[in-house]
Amino acid sequence: MNPLQQKIYDRFVRYVSVDTTSDPTSSITPTTSSQISFAHTLAQEMKTVGFTEVEVDEYGFVTGLLPANTDQKAPVIGFFAHMDTVCDYNGKNVRPQVHPQYDGGTITINADKKMFLSPQSDHNLKLCIGDDIVTADGNSLLAGDDKIGIATIMTLAEYFTQHPEIKHGPIKAAFTIDEETGTGIAFFDVEKFGADFAYTVDGATLGEIDCGNFNADTVTFRIIGKTCHPGSAKGFMANPVRIAADIISSWPEDKLPETTDGEDGFVLFKDIEGGLDKAEVKGIVREHNLEKFEHFKQMLCDLAEEKRRKYPAAKIELEFKKQYRNMRDILKQRPQAMELLEKALRENKVPYRLTQARGGTDGAQLTLRGLPTPNIFAGYENPHGPYEWLSMGWVEKTFHILESIAKNAVE
């Protein structure tokens, strides 16, 4: 690794040694106390690299200001990364291992478990010839999502502080809670943060820029049945388990996650609970186009009505809850964030694609609350599992993109 990559990597190793797994079943904010502890650790480090006005608020958000070092007018730019890791896979005892100067062959994550990476299984590895590749040891996720984002932002602030000849305007940083549960950013005080626009450093592949995302709601079917002894059930019983299965199997197969890609939407049925007295089916609705999104929801309403007619003895209720909406249109109306980002990508000779994320980001919610926030690649791949990896070459590119954004904003 070159000295810059080594600095970022050393920070990253320290950060992933702290377990900050979030908990979607928790009713508190943040959902795990370890995020609060990590927040205070980051706050102390922020002060040493040049941030002022450093604060950990009541919810655990860490914010700070890197003051402008020029009298020239410049917007206030925000950089975001999240502290928590996903609960889907073990986030404890993360042990990064470096695979230096990748030669294009197979990378061994864990020989005993027969865990490997190769260009055949991970096509983007072929873009990383010569880079140092980082993985975990096969017993945990890597937590590149998103602690490599934190490490990059922190190192950028240190770099600017050590090089006052590089002029930049005011830079705000925020390290956020519960991104993986989708619940944390709702508690973030956008007005107090005071940025004109911002960027989440929380994407994956080099050059992929998320400037749009799904419209998203949750959907819940609640089924109250009519039960009796099965020996005398004819003409009387309404079995919620059977009705739940019928609802799920009746949804069109070409509108499921496993049959769609790109900007195609889907409905995912992800949880079933219940028995002969009642049952509940939970899912999510996703679609980039708002008109199609509303059509999906109407299709679900029609499905519920169809099953009410089919099972008149049962009570079937349907509920939607709003999660987030597509940020694409707002970024077009307030283009400065994207203009500076695209200029930085061109300057650093990074081929890029403007993508519509098949998911949601903190940036999507921030954008809809008045802070335009596209999502920049952070340099990791395969998040949320033991095959996660990152390229230190990609991470360095992210660093220079953020540097260029800050410098060009003064111009």
DSSP assignment of 301-358: HHHHHHHHHH-TTSEEEEEEEEEE---HHHHHHSTHHHHHHHHHHHHTT---EEEEES
User: Which listed residue (19, 84, 178, 210) is catalytic?
Assistant: 84
Residue 288 binned pLDDT confidence (cut-offs 50, 70, 90): very high
User: Which listed residue (179, 180, 202, 381) is catalytic?
Assistant: 179
Predicted pLDDT of residue 356:
83
Rounded-to-integer distance, Cα 23 and Cα 42, Å: 21
Rounded-to-integer distance, Cα 231 and Cα 27, Å: 43
**Does the annotation mark 306 as catalytic?**
no
Q: Which of 42, 138, 134, 143 is nearest to 87 (CA)?
A: 143
pLDDT digits (tens, 9 = 90+) for 113-134: 999 999 998 999 999 999 999 9
Are the beta carbons of 243 and 314 closer than 8 angstroms? yes
Reported CATH class of domain 215-323: alpha beta
Predicted pLDDT of residue 213:
87
Quick one: what percent of the chain has pLDDT higher than 70?
A: 100
Please give the model's pTM, rounded to 2 decimal places: 0.83
pLDDT digits (tens, 9 = 90+) for 204-263: 889 999 888 899 899 999 999 999 889 988 999 999 999 999 999 999 999 999 999 988
Average pLDDT value for residue range 291-306: 97
Q: Which of 85, 321, 345, 323 is nearest to 214 (CA)?
A: 323
**Does the annotation mark 305 as catalytic?**
no
Predicted pLDDT of residue 359:
74
Q: What is the mean pLDDT of the chain?
A: 95
Predicted pLDDT of residue 401:
98
Predicted pLDDT of residue 204:
83
Q: Which of 180, 181, 182, 159 is nearest to 171 (CA)?
A: 159
| Domain boundaries defined on the chain | 3-213+326-410, 215-323
Predicted pLDDT of residue 118:
95
Residue 147 binned pLDDT confidence (cut-offs 50, 70, 90): very high
DSSP 126: G
Residue 68 binned pLDDT confidence (cut-offs 50, 70, 90): very high
φ, ψ for residue 82 (rounded to 5)?
-105, 150
pLDDT digits (tens, 9 = 90+) for 325-352: 888 888 999 999 999 999 999 999 999 9
The architecture CATH gives domain 3-213+326-410: 3-Layer(aba) Sandwich (3.40)
